[in-house]
Amino acid sequence: MKKLLLIIFCILVLAPVANAEKLPIKITPAQVITTNTDEIEVGDWIKFKTVNDVFYKNKLLIKKDTPIVGVVDHVHENGLVADNAEIIFQTFYVRNVEKNLIKFNYPLYIGRRNSVCKTFGDKVEKYFLVIFKGNEVDVQPESTIYNLFLYK
């Protein structure tokens, strides 16, 4: 009897999580994100914007180019011997088409390893000079698209 009650309890507790719908949100930075100047700290608000429209049950929830703010949760400065810098976001704020504020949590990692090498100098810096000192995070506005998921 205890096993049956435990199973029913687990189903009732976990059912909302299993039935949650993931809404993909593609975002891009609306400002320069860099650790070169040591200005980004935990708790800072970094501006992004949505890349495309987000629909929920065939209704427009968030319009394209809507500002979205990410709160810096962790900053790791670069160090010696390939210790690359990284910035981690956990909390995001966005307003829907009805101007209601939506707060959601989804981890976003920004580090040098997901950067694109466009020139020979970038490749030398990323793969050779990293032996002496880790790379900095340097993301220009609208240069990279990140995926977030909003659970409804």
For residue range 98-121, list pLDDT tens digits in order: 999 999 999 999 986 555 566 777
Question: How does residue 135 score in pLDDT terms, banded at 50, 70 and 90?
Answer: confident
Provide the mean pLDDT of the chain.
Answer: 82
For residue range 59-97, list pLDDT tens digits in order: 999 999 999 999 999 998 877 776 778 999 999 999 999
pLDDT of residue 137: 83
Between residues 142 and 118, the one the model is more confident about: 142
The number of residues in the chain equals: 152
- What separation in angstroms does the CA of 89 have from each of 23, 48, 108, 109, 110? 18, 12, 5, 7, 8
pLDDT of residue 102: 93
pLDDT of residue 9: 60
Q: What is the mean pLDDT of residues 118-139?
A: 69
In the sheet with 146-151, reading across from the earlier edge strand, the strands are 101-111, 86-95, 67-76, 45-50, 22-29, 146-151
pLDDT of residue 95: 93
Single pTM value for the model: 0.74
Residue given tokens 């010696």 in the structure block: 80
